């Protein structure tokens, strides 16, 4: 466990998709990337009301609004970075399970599509109906459940645990 939490362990887990890992290591890496993304998201949810800038209430240049938008840029980078780290981790686990490592990108692609659909749907109701966003959400949940089962719960006899 301490070898995984070392600098070399982090480099192996999150910076390359080469190699194989066990279920326990996959769960640990998923918890780490999920914790980073969750903390960043909670911070965004707390500060996001300050992103709405009304000139009647605040001046043209408002430090709070500027700070929130600066955090939004950092937040977007952090979410993309944790997605790449989770992809590398999951590709290793899928390879150990005998599946194509590229399948690790499916939940990330669906999450980006779901986010885009939920952002676009209220703005272009006639072109992107809300049911399409819910359909993508359903696909995302199904893929995440399959991924958790395949990478985190299922083990075979030919696998090196």
pLDDT > 80? residue 61: no
What confidence score (pLDDT) does residue 50 get?
A: 82
11 against 32, higher pLDDT: 32
What confidence score (pLDDT) does residue 84 get?
A: 95
Delimit the domains of the chain by residue range. 9-153
Buried b (16+ CB within 10 A) or exposed e, 65-90: beebeebeeebeebbeebbebbbbbb
Mean pLDDT of 45-65: 78
Structure tokens at 140: 């995302």
pLDDT > 80? residue 2: no
Mean pLDDT of 78-95: 94
pLDDT > 70? residue 58: no
pLDDT-above-90 percentage for the chain: 59
- Hey, how many other C-beta atoms are within 10 angstroms of the C-beta on 39? 11
What confidence score (pLDDT) does residue 60 get?
A: 67
Angle between helices 106-120 and 130-147 (to 10 degrees): 160
């Amino acid at each position: 466990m301490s070898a995984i939490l070392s600098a070399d362990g982090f480099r192996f887990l999150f910076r390359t998709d080469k190699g194989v890992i066990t279920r326990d290591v996959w769960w640990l890496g998923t918890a780490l990337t999920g914790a980073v993304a969750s903390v960043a998201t909670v911070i965004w949810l707390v500060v996001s009301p300050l992103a709405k800038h009304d000139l009647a209430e605040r001046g043209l240049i408002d430090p709070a609004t500027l700070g929130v938008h600066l955090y939004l840029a950092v937040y977007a980078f952090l979410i993309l970075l944790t997605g790449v780290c989770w992809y590398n981790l999951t590709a290793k686990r899928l390879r150990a399970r005998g599946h194509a490592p590229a399948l690790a990108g499916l939940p990330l692609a669906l999450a980006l599509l779901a986010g885009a659909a939920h952002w676009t749907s209220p703005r272009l109701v006639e072109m992107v109906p809300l049911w399409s966003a819910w359909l993508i959400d359903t696909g995302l949940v199904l893929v995440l459940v399959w991924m958790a089962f395949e990478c985190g719960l299922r083990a075979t006899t030919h696998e090196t645990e």
